[in-house]
Structure 1
């Protein structure tokens, strides 16, 4: 019963006009009056912000805030893969031969997520990782590893919640929400970085220019809390043994290592 009520609620509150109203308010000057309460409710770490709280003219500016340069340390180890976002690692697992992954007891199609059988074939029997950003998190997205962008594309239109409730009761949220996918070729194989839009706000703004990425380099930002899905080719990624889900993680912290097909690190 609750599942059906929840689905109805998010369908009714996720239309075009509710999105427009929310985005308009967040970008309006009047939204500055809720900036202090937002920071308090979500316990934002003001010491790591590049600006003081009173310097953010709108709620949207606070959402997409930048941090002081020393606020995050990037693991420089050549073989290390790092977290691209401040988030909670909700799940890690294997992509099966039929291009499916099981997240919170629900089955998601990688084919539906990526929209291309040719692209999907690279990730069969590989590894997926789900990183959830709440409204309290820093919303900018950084590259988890050095490499070359092979392709970047967007799919989907509306966005439904991607928090625990959304993953449990929503309908294929990770695979059908508005999403921007960046495929990166590394020295050991391909990684797909899937940036999934959250409820109400579909905005994912690309900030990186060019085709080459350095580890830790900024790629884009979300206009609200959302989710990153990382997909690794079979035999190219080894999860860091310290990671037990759910796990809080910050940009630049090691999540695993890239490995050669023969099992060695690169």
Structure 2
């Protein structure tokens, strides 16, 4: 399979965003991006302190956000817009209203049939991170990571207009699938979906995953004792993108709806154990 043009375009943008330009020019780039996108920098360092545009994209908080310590509370893994959420009907979920996709297909061949079946008739949430959002992602609960699967693919935009017109966008785009367990042994998946101009999707616990590269075949990684605590930072998008969460039946009752804007650390659901 030849590299798709969306991947080539995104690699070119990634090289520009990763380049450390002369200080005065970098300051112009950073300030222009903040102004153009309307970034709220109140929780972050000043734009002039970031040596590259990617450093600005992947900025960290000056002070950690607080969140509920109740182990039953699930928090949002990111700052985002909820583009869709609801019940998985058999193996079908919504990309956006009127546009469905198969969760089995989005999980890919690297996930076992039994693991796929465990989330049939469960629940799903699609988190869309716009270019103005905080780009890092965090563990929504205390969790164990069983597998990570990198699936190369295209890099179509994942904004609302694209979700409405591009059939099977989540299935065609590059993605990283994380198979996880809650503390009570309930299975869920976090799927990091690439998008146009996403220079990289970084998974901090698995440096072998190199996205937006020349990889053409899926790669799989398994773990025996990999645990993340609620709120742990485990990577970032280098531009806006989407996280899809797929949960087993009777694992969580979500308190959010389509169209809600959520922030990392905000309680979005309650585990039902």
Query: What is the DSSP-based 3-state SS (H/G/I as helix, E as strand, rest coil) of the residue aligned with 1:121?
Result: helix
Match of 1:237 in 2: 252
Q: TM-score, normalised by structure 2?
A: 0.84
Match of 2:189 in 1: 192
Superposition map of 1:96-245 within 5 A: 96-97=89-90, 99-102=91-94, 103-115=96-108, 116=111, 117-188=113-184, 189-201=186-198, 203-208=200-205, 211-240=226-255, 243-245=256-258
- Alignment of 1:47 onto 2:62: no
Cα distance between partner residues in 2 of 1:161 and 1:104? 17
Q: How many residues align?
A: 244
Match of 1:28 in 2: 19
1:118: Cα distance to partner? 3.0
Cα distance between partner residues in 2 of 1:34 and 1:162? 24
Match of 1:259 in 2: 272
1:90: Cα distance to partner? 1.3
Match of 2:212 in 1: none
User: What is the CA deviation profile of residues 76-101 of structure 1, one whole-angstrom value per residue up to 9, with x for unaligned ones?
Assistant: 1110111000101111111112x111
Runs of at least 5 residues in structure 1 that lack an aligned partner in the other structure = 1-11, 261-266
Cα distance between partner residues in 2 of 1:94 and 1:184? 19
Cα distance between partner residues in 2 of 1:176 and 1:119? 21
Does the 8 A contact of 1:112 with 1:176 survive in 2?
no
- Alignment of 1:89 onto 2:82: yes
User: What is the CA deviation profile of residues 82-140 of structure 1, one whole-angstrom value per residue up to 9, with x for unaligned ones?
Assistant: 1000101111111112x111232111111111013332111000000000000000100
Does the 8 A contact of 1:150 with 1:183 survive in 2?
yes
Match of 1:7 in 2: none
Does the 8 A contact of 1:82 with 1:145 survive in 2?
yes
Does the 8 A contact of 1:142 with 1:220 survive in 2?
yes
1:232: Cα distance to partner? 0.6
1:15: Cα distance to partner? 4.3
Cα distance between partner residues in 1 of 2:229 and 2:74? 12
Cα distance between partner residues in 1 of 2:11 and 2:52? 16
- What CA RMSD, in Å, does the superposition of the two structures yield over aligned residues? 1.8
Divergent runs of 4+, >4 A: none
Does the 8 A contact of 2:99 with 2:167 survive in 1?
no
Q: TM-score, normalised by structure 1?
A: 0.86
With a CA cutoff of 8 Å and minimum separation of 6, indicate the structure with the bigger relative contact order.
2
Cα distance between partner residues in 2 of 1:231 and 1:58? 34
User: What is the CA deviation profile of residues 168-225 of structure 1, one whole-angstrom value per residue up to 9, with x for unaligned ones?
Assistant: 0113111221111112111330121111111132511112377111000011110110
